[in-house]
Structure 1
Amino acid sequence: MSGLHRSSSAPSKNSGGSLPSKELLDDLCSRFVLNVPEEDQQSFERILFLVEYAYWYYEDNSVEKDPTLKSLTLKEFTSLLFNSCDVLRPYVAHIDDIFKDFTSYKFRVPVTGAIILDETYERCLLVKGWKGSSWSFPRGKISKDEEDHECAIREVLEETGFDVSELLKKEEYIEFVSRQQRVRLFIIPGVKDSTSFAPQTKKEISEIAWHRLDDLQPASTQVITRGVTGLKLYMVAPFLASLMSWIWKHPAPVTRRPDVPLKALCVWKVNHQAFVGNSAATMESEGKGSRKKPATEHHHHHLPRPDTGPGQSLRNFRFNASEILRVMEAGFSGHLDLQAIL
C-alpha cells in the first residue's frame, strides 16, 4: 500500500463519461468527511485522507456501477468535492496548497511491510502496482496508533492475501530512510512457493510473483533502479545488500537440487481486460488452475497521525471543526453564513 499504494496521479482508462452529480458528491462528503470523530477534522492532512477514502469509494463503487461516470484523478476529485460541499467550499481558493501539503505529508508517513523468502532463500515475493511496471515488496503506510508489525501484517494481507502474523518476528527486519520517510520491512523466511496469493483490495495490485534474488541485482553501478533482467526495482534496490547479508548469516531450511532450475514464478495476475466498461475484475491465479474471488473493498480503520502539523504554506490554516459539527447537528437545514467559517 499501499507497499506501492494505489496510484491516483493519473486517470484510469475510463477517462470519458460525465462528472459526478452534486447529490453524489454531497453524499460522499457527508459519509466520509463530515460523519467522523471530531479529532479527525483537526487538520487538512486528516481531512484529505478522508477525501481520499471517498475518492476510492467513488472509483471502486460509483464508477464501476455506473459506466457513464467519469474516472478521475485524486486531485480532480478533491477539487470537485471542495466545490460541491458547503463546508469545504470556502477553502477552494487554497486547494492547490492544501493538496501540495497533503502529498508532501503522505511521503513522510512511516511505511512497513515484509520481505517474504521461499524455502531456499533464493527467491522473494514481489508485487506490481496497479499502474506502471515497478515492483516492490508488499508494504504500506502506518495508520493511527498502529505498531510497525501490525501495519506489516495488515498490508501484506491486503496486498497478497497471505497472513504472516504467525511467522513475523519483531526483531527481524531491515530499515531504510529516504527523504524523511522510514521504511521497515520484516523478513519472513521459508514460505512454500506453492502458497496461494491474491490481493484483498481492488485496483491496487496487478501481479504477484516469486522473483530470483539474482535477477534483482542492479544492472550496473550506474543503474541501481533496474535489475539485470530489466525489472524496475526502485522500491526494492535499497534493501538488497542488507537482505543478502541476512541470508548469508541464516542457512536456508531447504537446499535446491542442482538439476532443478530456479525460475521466477508468477502466482497471481489480474485480467485487466475484465475492467473494460467498469465491470468487475476476473482474478486469475496463474499456474494454479484456480479462480480467486474478487478483491474486497479497500478500507482503513484509522487515519495516520500528523507528526509535524500542516505544511509550510498552511502552518496557521485550520478547519473550523465546531462549524462542521454545527452543520451536522442542523441536519444541513437552514441558511449558514459560510464566510464565518473563514
Structure 2
Amino acid sequence: MDARLIRWALAVLLLAVWPLSAVAQSPKTGVVTALQGRATVARALLPQPASLKFKDDIFVRDRIGTGERSIVRILFGGKALVTVRERSVLTVTEEPNRHIVGVQDGKLALNLAKSLVRPGEVVEVRTPNAIVGIRGSFVVVETRLVSGVRQTDVTAVHVSTPVIVSSPIDPKLSVAITSGQTVSVRGLGATIVMAPARAITPEETTAATRAGEVPLSASRPIAPTVDQTRALATGQLEQAVALADSLLRVTGGVTGQVTGSAGATVRATGGVGGVTGSALPGATTTTQTAGGAVASTLSGTISGTTSTLTNAISAINATSAVQKLKLP
C-alpha cells in the first residue's frame, strides 16, 4: 500500500479517536443524590442532551439543566452538596485546588463542609457577572435578568469563612459577606456594579434555607460515607443555630447550646423561648429564655430552622446506621 495512503488513513483514524479519548479522560466529579422532575446533561460524547437519573455520575465539563418544577441535588467531590433549582443551567469544571460550578442562569444552593476542605482549596460559583469563592458555607446563588439587566444575588445563610464575591473582570471589585448577609451584582463587563452587603430579612432567610431542601417525593438520597455525613451534619447543626442567632433577635434575647453526636457544639443568641428536648440519643438541644418573646411574623423563620435541624438529625442517624454496619 502506498505510504502516503497509509499516513492519511492513520490521520483519519486519529481524528476519529481523539475526541473519544479526551472525553474518556474527563474525571468523575460528582453523583446525583436526589432528583425530582426532569434534568438533563449535555456531554461531548452524547449527540444530544440526555435525561439525568438518580445515582448518575457527573463528569468534568458536563452541562446540566433543569426543567419546570424540577430539582436535582449533586454531591461534588464528596464535600460540596449542590441543590439546583428549576430552570437552571450549570457547567462543572476543575482547576488545581479549585472546583468550579458555572451558573449561566438559574438558582442553586451550595452546602460545603469546612472540615473536608483542604488548605488552599476553594469551591467557586461563577455567573456571567460574579465569582463567588466558598471555603465552608451554606450559600444560595441566583442569576437572572431583571428589567433586561443581568443580576446575581448571593446570600450567605451560614458561613465558617467569609464568602468573597468579586467581579470576573476586576478582582479589586469585591465584597466579603458572612452569615445572614446578601449582596447583589448588576450589569456585565465594564458596567458591573456591586451593591454593599446588607443583612437579610427573616423572609429571605426562610427562602434561602428552603432553596437547599428537596421534597420527600424526590429520589431517595444516597447515604454518604461516615466522614462525609459527620461533616455535613456538623455544618447543618451550625447552620440551624446561626439561623436562630441572626434572625430571631428580639428584646430579651436567648442563650442556647446545641450538641450533636456528630461532634458539633455551637452556641447562639436569639429570640427563641424555652425549649428543652432530646433530638436523639447523643444529640441534645437546650435553649433557655432570658426574657422576651418571638413575634408571630417570624413563624416562617422558625419553620426553616426546624427543617434544618431535622436534616441534621437525619444525617446523624445516617451516621449511626453506617457505623452499625461496621464497614472497613
State TM-score, norm by structure 1: 0.24
State TM-score, norm by structure 2: 0.25
Write 1 or 2 for the structure with the bigger share of helix: 1
Write 1 or 2 for the structure with the bigger share of strand: 2
